[in-house]
């Protein structure tokens, strides 16, 4: 069993680390059966030859976050059957996922969300029966506010990315990619807090160390790329103003830092501009007919911008589309600009 204190142990032994955490990811896959969907891995040659996508917007609540949320909540109940409720901090997708898990498992739920969060996501969290706390909450103080509430209420924390149970749940995506693609050569994941890419990197590298794992984050939120360059745990000074609201964490978590930077289980982290994210969203919408949100589109943005190196000959690049909860105002703006461009003879993305 992996414990929270195992994170810093024996950094020279990736084999033991991978074996232990990969076993926990396989346990998570068993635990999640019946609670989350096994999303398909779809060819995406309309984007580029030799590319496949993992459309996690097809999950309940519209993002990959249900995997970590359900695994963490089910694991909590396994350890503490009398737990009465959970609390979390979220920009939206994780909050929805925890709210759904709590509702389905009979627990109270409180979600701490920054003021100005995507209104679609806030409404969805409330619709699932969770209490939303936003007054005075910012991207910089949200974790502190959540800890204060946790101490006052006794609710159990379901962290969005810096907890092994959450990371192991997200890692089930990597297992599915390995099952679906015998010719897998590269996995591309968005990077916010680092839970998704950490889980996928562990699952993939434990089975296929030759497969490259590449992270993508907005240029405006490039703390992971900076951490890779410096080998230090870099932190943004202020919440980034990127449209990719799911990737606005000030830094990757301690566990993500271990996986991504200290153990180098992620091969590279690249960045994309806001304009490239918007172009990628339109390309996925129009070519693949999948509704992807900005955070979920960063992998395609990097691919279209030429920042993902070609896979070895005969192997496939798999891009995780992490979610599809788009702000209607953003959708309207992008679609109106796209229609105007086409009307004047402009090219499709």
Collapsing DSSP to helix, strand or coil, 269 comes out as: strand
Going through 233-337 in order, the beta strands assigned E by DSSP cover 268-272, 316-321
How far apart CA 299 and CA 296 sit, in angstroms, is: 7
Asked whether 269 and 201 are in contact (CB, 8 A), the reply is no
336 by Cβ neighbours in 10 Å (0-12 / 13-18 / 19+) ranks as exposed
3-state secondary structure 129-174: CCEEECCCCCCCCHHHHHHHHHHHHCCEECCCCCCHHHHHHHCHHH
Q: Are 292 and 281 in contact (CB under 8 A)?
A: yes
Closest by CA to 48, choosing from 275, 300, 274, is: 300
From residue 226, how far is each of 213, 219, 223 by CA, in Å? Answer: 17, 10, 5
322 is catalytic: yes
Q: By C-alpha distance, which of 272, 252, 278, 243 is closest to 198?
A: 252
Helix/strand/coil for 38: coil
- 65, 91, 249, 251: the catalytic one is 65
65 catalytic residue (yes or no): yes
Q: Exactly one of 63, 91, 251, 322 is catalytic; which is it?
A: 322
For the beta carbon of residue 247, count every other beta carbon within 10 angstroms. Answer: 27
Residues 218 and 20: their CA atoms lie apart, in Å, by: 32
Residues identified as active-site: 65, 322
């Amino acid at each position: 069993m992996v414990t929270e204190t195992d994170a810093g142990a024996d950094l020279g032994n990736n084999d033991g680390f991978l074996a232990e955490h990969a076993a926990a990811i396989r346990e998570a896959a068993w635990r999640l059966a019946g609670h989350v969907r096994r999303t398909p891995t779809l060819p995406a040659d309309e984007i580029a030859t030799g590319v496949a996508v993992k459309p996690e917007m097809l999950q309940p609540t519209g993002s990959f976050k249900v995997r970590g949320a359900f695994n963490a909540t089910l694991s909590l109940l396994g350890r503490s059957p009398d737990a009465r409720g959970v609390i979390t901090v979220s920009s939206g997708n994780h909050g929805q996922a925890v709210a759904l898990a709590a509702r389905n498992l009979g627990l109270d739920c409180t979600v701490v969300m920054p003021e100005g969060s995507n209104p679609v996501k806030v409404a969805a969290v409330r619709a699932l029966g969770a209490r939303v706390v936003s007054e005075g909450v910012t991207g910089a103080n949200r974790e502190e506010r959540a800890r204060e509430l946790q101490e006052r209420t006794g609710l159990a924390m379901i962290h969005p990315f810096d907890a092994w149970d959450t990371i192991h749940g997200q890692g089930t995506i990597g297992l599915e990619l390995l099952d679906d693609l015998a010719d897998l050569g590269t996995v591309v994941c968005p990077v916010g807090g680092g839970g998704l890419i950490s889980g996928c990197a562990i699952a993939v590298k434990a089975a296929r160390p030759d497969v490259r794992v590449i992270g993508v984050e907005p240029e405006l939120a490039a703390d992971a790329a900076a951490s890779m360059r410096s080998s230090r745990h870099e932190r943004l000074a202020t919440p980034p103003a990127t449209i990719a609201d799911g990737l606005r964490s000030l830094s990757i978590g301690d566990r993500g830092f271990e996986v991504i930077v200290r153990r180098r289980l992620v091969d590279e982290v690249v960045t994309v501009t806001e304009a490239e994210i918007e172009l990628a969203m339109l390309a996925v919408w129009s070519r693949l007919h999948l509704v992807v949100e900005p955070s979920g589109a960063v992998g395609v943005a990097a691919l279209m911008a030429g920042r993902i190196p070609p896979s070895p000959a005969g192997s496939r690049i798999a891009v995780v589309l992490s979610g599809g909860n788009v702000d209607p105002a953003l959708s309207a703006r992008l679609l109106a600009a796209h229609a105007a461009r086409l009307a004047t003879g402009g090219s499709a993305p």
